[in-house]
C-alpha cells in the first residue's frame, strides 16, 4: 500500500528529520507549517517530486481541518500522521504568565487534539487503516522541576492518545506517542547554546550525549509503520535512560 504521510510542525527540527527519512520510503508527503517561507526554507519550492506544502495553523480547529482537506485533495486521505507541533517552556507555575500557559497549551495540546480529529475523520471517510504518532516529553511521565505547563499539556496529549486508541481500534487505526528527553532542535537551542551547557545537559543522561531528531524520527516512523501493527495507545520513551536509570552519579 502506498502511504500518504501528513507531517505537522514539518519545518521544525523533528519534522524535517521525519520528512528526510520518510522520503526514502517512497511515501507521498504533505508538510504543514503556519508560514509558507518556513516550508520553502526547509524543503525548497514545491514541485512535482517534493512534499506538498500546506500553510495552516493546526492549533485551531479550522486550521487542522483545512490542512487535512488540502492533503486529501492533493494526495489523498493521509494514512499516516506525524504530529510534530509543540514548544518548550521552562518556568515554575508561580512564574508562568497566562499568555505563556495559553501558548504552551495551544502549541502542545490544542494542536494535537484538533489534528487528531481532522485526521480520523478523513481516514474514516476514506475507509482506510491509518496510524498517527504524537510527541510528548519525559516531563509528562516523571516530575521534572519547572515544567508544569508543558507537563500538563503533554500529559493531556498522552491521555488523548490512549483514548483515541480505544475509540478507533475496531476501525484498524493505531495511535501512539514518543517521549523524548532533550533533543537537539531549534526548540532546545537556548538550552544548548554553549559547550558548557551541552556538557552539563549530556551528563544528566545515563547513555550520555544529547538526543537527536533523527533518533526520534526513526522510532516515530517505526510506530507509524505496519511493523508496529500490534502497538497502540503507547508512549514510547526515547531518553538515553533518563527516566529508567537511577541513581545517576557522575
Ligand atoms: N527539542 C526538545 O528538546 C524536545 C523535547 C521533548 C519534546 N519535544 C517536542 O518535540 C516536538 C517537535 O519539536 P522540535 O524540537 O522539532 O521543535 P521546533 O524545531 O521548534 O519545531 C516545532 C514546530 O512546531 C510549530 N509550532 C510551534 N508553536 C506552535 C503553535 N503555537 N501553533 C502551531 N504550530 C506551532 C512550529 O512550526 P511553524 O512555525 O513552521 O508553524 C515549529 O517549527 C514538539 O512537540 C516538542 O514539544 C521537543
Ligand 1 mean position, distance from CA 249 (Å)? 31
Dist CA 77 CA 72 (whole Å): 4
Helix segments in the chain, DSSP class H: 13-23, 36-43, 61-74, 98-105, 111-126, 148-168, 195-203, 213-224
> Which among 169, 66, 159 is positioned nearest to 113, based on CA atoms?
159
Q: How many domains does the chain have?
A: 1
Ligand 1 mean position, distance from CA 40 (Å)? 17
What does pTM read for this prediction? Answer: 0.98
Q: Is residue 243 part of a domain?
A: no
> What is the per-residue pLDDT for 17?
98
Q: Is residue 209 part of a domain?
A: yes
> Ligand 1: which atom is nearest the Cα of residue 191?
3
Q: Across residues 127-143, what is the average pLDDT?
A: 97
CATH number of domain containing 151: 3.40.50.720
Asked if residue 141 has its Cβ within 6 Å of ligand 1, the reply is no
Q: Is residue 247 part of a domain?
A: no
State the pLDDT confidence band at 46, using cuts at 50, 70 and 90. confident
Ligand 1 mean position, distance from CA 5 (Å)? 18
For 145-202, write each residue's pLDDT tens digit: 999 999 999 999 999 999 999 999 999 999 999 999 999 999 999 999 999 999 999 9
- Edge-first strand order for the sheet with 235-238 is 52-55, 28-33, 4-8, 80-83, 131-135, 174-180, 235-238
Q: Is residue 55 part of a domain?
A: yes
Q: Is residue 245 part of a domain?
A: no
Q: Is residue 249 part of a domain?
A: no
Phi and psi dihedrals of 173, rounded to 5? Answer: -105, 145
Range of the domain at 177: 4-238
Amino acid at each position: 500500500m502506498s502511504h500518504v504521510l501528513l507531517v505537522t510542525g514539518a519545518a521544525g527540527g523533528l519534522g524535517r528529520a521525519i520528512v528526510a527519512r520518510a522520503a526514502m520510503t517512497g511515501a507521498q508527503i504533505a508538510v504543514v507549517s503556519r508560514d509558507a517561507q518556513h516550508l520553502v526554507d526547509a524543503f525548497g519550492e514545491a514541485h512535482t517530486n517534493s512534499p506538498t506544502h500546506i500553510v495552516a495553523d493546526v492549533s485551531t480547529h479550522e486550521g487542522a481541518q483545512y490542512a487535512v482537506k488540502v492533503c486529501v485533495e492533493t494526495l489523498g486521505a493521509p494514512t499516516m500522521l506525524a504530529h510534530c507541533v509543540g514548544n518548550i517552556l521552562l518556568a515554575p507555575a508561580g512564574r508562568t504568565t497566562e499568555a505563556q500557559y495559553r501558548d504552551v497549551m495551544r502549541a502542545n495540546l490544542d494542536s494535537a487534539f484538533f489534528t487528531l480529529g481532522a485526521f480520523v475523520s478523513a481516514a474514516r471517510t476514506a475507509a482506510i487503516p491509518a496510524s498517527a504518532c504524537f510527541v510528548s516529553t519525559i516531563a509528562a511521565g516523571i516530575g521534572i522541576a519547572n515544567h508544569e505547563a508543558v507537563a500538563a499539556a503533554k500529559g493531556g496529549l498522552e491521555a488523548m492518545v490512549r483514548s483515541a486508541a480505544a475509540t478507533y481500534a475496531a476501525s484498524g487505526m493505531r495511535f501512539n506517542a514518543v517521549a523524548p528527553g532533550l533533543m537537539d532542535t531549534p526548540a532546545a537551542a537556548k538550552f544548548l547554546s554553549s559547550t558548557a551547557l551541552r556538557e552539563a545537559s549530556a551528563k544528566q543522561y545515563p547513555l550520555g550525549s544529547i538526543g537527536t531528531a533523527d533518533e526520534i524520527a526513526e522510532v516515530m516512523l517505526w510506530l507509524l509503520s505496519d511493523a508496529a501493527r500490534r502497538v497502540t495507545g503507547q508512549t514510547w520513551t526515547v531518553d538515553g535512560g533518563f527516566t529508567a536509570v537511577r541513581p545517576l552519579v557522575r
